[in-house]
Amino acid sequence: MSHESIEILEERRSQVLRKGEEGATGISCGKQSVAGSVSQRACVFCGSRVVLYPISDALHVVHGPIGCAAYTWDIRGAQSSGPQLHRNSFSTDLQEKDVIFGGEKKLTAALRELIAACRPKAAFVYSTCMTGIIGDDVGAVCRELAAEAGIPVIPVESPGFSGTKKDGYRAACDALYQLVGSGDIAGISKRSINLLGEFNIAGETWLMKDYFKRIGIEVVSCITGDGRVDEIRRCHGAKLNLVQCSGSMLHFAKRLEQQYGIPFQRISFFGIEDTAAALYEAAGVFGDDELMQSARGLVSMELARIQPELRRYRKILKGRKAAVYVGGAFKAFSLVRALRTLGMRTVLVGSQTGNPQDYAQLKELCDPGTVIVDDSNPLELAKFCLEMDVDLFIGGVKERPIAYKLGIGFCDHNHERKEALAGFEGMLNFAKEVHASVMSPVWKFVPRRAKRKTSNQTEAA
């Protein structure tokens, strides 16, 4: 297969941009996926489930066919410092009979049994496409069980139909917000924050909390990494919200700002530049010189520790080319910068849910010739990876087969991974993983690589 033989669907052309190309000014985005495009996006239910999943002392019940629960079972590499209830993917397992006669009685019985057995702090009940089709009143069942059990039983309105994962994020935020404001905020420090859109993948939340503790800032709640219901209830007492995954949590941050006057900042903890900037920006909000000095001291100490190894990896990786395709554009910004720290160039970058501002920022950040894509599909991604002759593909579980079939090194940066890639320690782990993937001797057996080597030798001659 060659990249010339792969055609882009005509309806998709406005969602592909090549920086520096004549007439290339902007990129179309925020559209429904094109029929036949086989989008890499997930469904509405999946979007809501991945956001709420890390709340470890809550019950999570999927009201739908067993396939929905199986699809999202243990979907995040999110770790818990205590309860493990969230790792169970409970389902009402709707069958043909339930489709005909309705599934409300089945849901009521399931919730009653699970609440009695698990004694959760709260319960989230996810509606699915099937629920929406048959018209079950999930909200009414939740109200009945909440009154009976004395805990919040919260419906998550996430039937799919024509929606996308981004709509699921909003459904998750609306469900979460029902807990806000019901907790005691006495004793919360004047220098306090909430971490929003940080999901404790491979324990990354604990790294972030340690950084803030060392510089003197209290983390009231992490929503939702290693999440606890009681912490979310009192998150309105924090003085600042730091939003990492803005695609999933910006709606929640805006509601907190509107109702409680809590300002928010969009930040990232991926890469040394963005991690340092996040710490400095948080410290700067409180106008405390001592706090800022502590932040500078922490950054200097961590950089001194990891820079020698990063320089060694940079020497080996310099000049290699990478492709990046992620869910939220915020990660793409950080990855382009992190790859540049390693001496690598990003030649293909895109996201599933970016907005015009995101793509304008990506265009500004990337080198001339970089291909920028919105809501791409496997054929397009394969076409551009071949055309740009990339050495590394960074993406998620759905992009891994594309990379391996093309003989390209792969780095998992999605929520299924088990390796911490955030913070300063995460940057070092990232460098190690990129090096191991790109420099693996297996790639010398890939025909395309052999052709590249022959071509280079011919040019040299």
pLDDT of 127 reads 94
* CATH 3.40.1080.10 is right for the domain spanning 192-301: no
Residue 202 has pLDDT above 80, yes or no: yes
pLDDT at site 456: 53
Domain boundaries, the chain: 3-35+318-417, 44-168, 192-301
Contacts of 253 (CB under 8 A, 6+ apart): 196, 241, 243, 264
> According to the model, what pLDDT value does residue 51 have?
92
The verdict on domain 44-168 having CATH code 3.40.350.10 is no
Say what the pLDDT of residue 168 is: 87
Of 356 and 391, which is predicted with more confidence?
Answer: 391
pLDDT of residue 460: 45
Check residue 14 and give its pLDDT.
Answer: 79
Q: Can you tell me the mean pLDDT for 406-432?
A: 91
Confidence check: pLDDT of 451 > 70:
no
Residue 454 has pLDDT above 80, yes or no: no
Using the predicted structure, report yes or no on whether residue 457 has a pLDDT greater than 50. Answer: no
Measure the CA–CA gap between 132 and 111, rounded to whole angstroms: 19
How confident is the model at residue 458, as a pLDDT? 46
Label residue 86 exposed, middle or buried (CB < 10 Å: 0-12, 13-18, 19+): buried
**Residue 87 has what pLDDT?**
87
Common-topology check for domains 44-168 and 192-301: yes
Q: What is the mean pLDDT of residues 6-16?
A: 76
> What's residue 461's pLDDT?
44
With cut-offs at 50, 70 and 90, classify the pLDDT of residue 421. Answer: very high
* Residue 24 confidence (pLDDT) above 80: no
Residues in the chain: 461
Distance CA 384, CA 24 (A): 17
Q: Stretch 38-57: mean pLDDT, rounded?
A: 84
User: Would you state the pLDDT for residue 71?
Assistant: 77
Q: Which of 11-25, 141-155, 299-313 has the lowest mean pLDDT?
A: 11-25
Amino acid making up residue 254: K
- State percent of the chain over pLDDT 90: 69
> What are the tens digits of pLDDT across the range 32-43?
777 666 666 668
- The chain-wide mean pLDDT, for the chain, equals 89
Q: What is the pLDDT of residue 161?
A: 62
Say what the pLDDT of residue 459 is. Answer: 46
For the structural domain made of 3-35+318-417, what CATH number should be given? 3.40.50.1980
> Where residue 25 falls among pLDDT bands split at 50, 70, 90?
low
Asked if pLDDT for residue 304 goes beyond 60, the answer is yes
At residue 38, the pLDDT reads 64
Confidence band, pLDDT 50/70/90 cuts, at residue 165: low
pLDDT in tens, 221-273: 999 999 999 999 999 999 999 999 877 899 999 999 999 999 999 999 999 99
Residue 245's pLDDT is: 82
